[in-house]
């Protein structure tokens, strides 16, 4: 009976602790469009239009233009960038591409997704997608791992005929993220997120310093919001199960506690 109670306690603790861990691995809630989504795109990194995750931004342009957007991504998130380009009624074969860059303007590779697609002659639209690697809280200086900060999306056509150059197009871009949780946790963190201009300061008045930040967006609950992860939960569960296993083993092997009787020699 005692062993049964020990095992029941262990299973109950495992179920209670696994609840928050399962919640951490679910996709993060997306922001809803409230009519304030951007309707234009920048033409360079410095003029990139800021968008929140979950917003569907739109823009109009011409074939041959470079369209730029930027969005924030924090540690533990796996961003997915999707773009839809609506093409004119008459056009030749075109190849469209989306590229994603981090705050240091390093191009980030896609884990999967069609980042480059061909629009056949006369096609009404083309859809692109890029699923990035999980953003890490810290990385070696020589590595190209995604780090917390601002990310840039660049949309452009990479191959088209001369007769199609300058034709009007419209684009829709949306970024969503999945919260990976403790599976992507590392021992370390950046002192500051990779946000352009975060270290640039200007002295507006003698005693009033202003920080000039080129990118003003950040996650809803601030940077490094993912310091808590399910790795802490599973570590606690492991310690608890180890302690219960020790108690159970002791209960099985300790014996009756009475000294054995040795027969006396007659």
Domain count, the chain: 1
What's the rounded Cα separation, in Å, for the pair 209 and 138?
29
Mean pLDDT confidence for 91-98: 95
- Residue 196 within a domain: no
pLDDT of residue 197: 66
Give the highest mean pLDDT range of 166-170, 222-226, 234-238: 166-170
Residue 53 lies in a domain: yes
Least confident range of 68-82, 89-103, 180-194: 180-194
In a domain, 39, yes or no: yes
Residue 52, domain extent: 28-179
Task: Give every CB contact of residue 58 below 8 A, 6+ residues apart in sequence.
Answer: 37, 38, 39, 170, 171, 172, 173
- How far lies 86's CA from each of 96, 115, 167, 237, in Å? 11, 16, 11, 51
- Judge whether 181 and 25 are in contact, CB under 8 Å: yes
**Residue given tokens 């996709």 in the structure block:** 27
Put residue 255 in one of left, alpha, beta given phi > 0 → left and psi -120 to 50 → alpha.
left
**219 within a domain of the structure (yes/no):** no
> How far is it, in rounded angstroms, from Cα 68 to Cα 55?
15
Chain segment 116-149, per-residue pLDDT in tens: 999 999 999 999 999 999 998 888 878 888 999 9
Residue 80 lies in a domain: yes
* Number of Cβ within a 10 Å radius of residue 79: 24
pLDDT band at 235 (very low <50, low <70, confident <90, very high): low
Note the pLDDT tens digit of each residue in 37-58.
899 999 999 999 999 999 999 9
Would the CA dihedral through 213, 216, 217, 222 be positive or negative? positive
The two structure tokens encoding residue 91: 């056009």
Query: Does a structural domain hold residue 70?
Result: yes
As a whole number of Å, the CA-based R_g of the chain is 28
Residue 131 included in any domain: yes
Q: Does residue 222 form part of some domain?
A: no
Whose tokens are 């795109």? That residue is: 41
- CATH of residue 127: 2.60.120.380
Q: What is the mean pLDDT of residues 69-76?
A: 92
Instruction: Report the Cα 155 to chain-centroid distance in Å.
Output: 20
């Amino acid at each position: 009976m005692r062993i049964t109670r020990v095992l029941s306690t262990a299973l109950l603790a495992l179920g209670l602790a696994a609840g928050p861990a399962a919640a951490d691995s679910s996709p993060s809630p997306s922001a809803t469009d409230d009519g304030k989504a951007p309707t234009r795109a920048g033409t360079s990194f410095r003029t990139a239009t800021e968008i929140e995750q979950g917003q569907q931004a739109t823009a109009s342009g011409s074939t041959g233009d470079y369209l730029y957007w930027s969005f924030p991504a924090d540690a533990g998130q796996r961003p997915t960038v999707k773009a839809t380009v609506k093409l004119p009624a008459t056009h030749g074969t075109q190849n469209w591409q989306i590229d994603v860059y981090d705050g240091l303007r390093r191009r980030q590779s896609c884990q999967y997704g069609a980042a480059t697609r061909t629009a056949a002659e006369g096609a009404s639209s083309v859809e692109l997608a890029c699923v990035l690697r999980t953003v890490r809280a810290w990385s070696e200086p020589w590595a190209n791992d995604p780090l917390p900060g601002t990310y840039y999306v660049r949309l452009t056509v990479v191959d088209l005929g001369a007769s199609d150059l300058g034709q009007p197009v419209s684009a829709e871009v949306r970024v969503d993220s999945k919260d990976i949780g403790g599976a992507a946790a590392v021992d370390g963190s950046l002192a500051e997120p990779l946000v352009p201009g975060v270290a640039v300061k200007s002295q507006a008045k003698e005693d009033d310093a202003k920080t000039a930040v080129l990118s003003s967006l950040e996650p809803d609950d601030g940077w490094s919001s993912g310091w808590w992860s399910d790795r802490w939960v599973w570590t606690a569960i492991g310690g608890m199960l180890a302690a219960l296993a020790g108690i159970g083993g002791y209960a099985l092997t300790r014996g009756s506690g009475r000294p054995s009787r040795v027969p006396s020699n007659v």
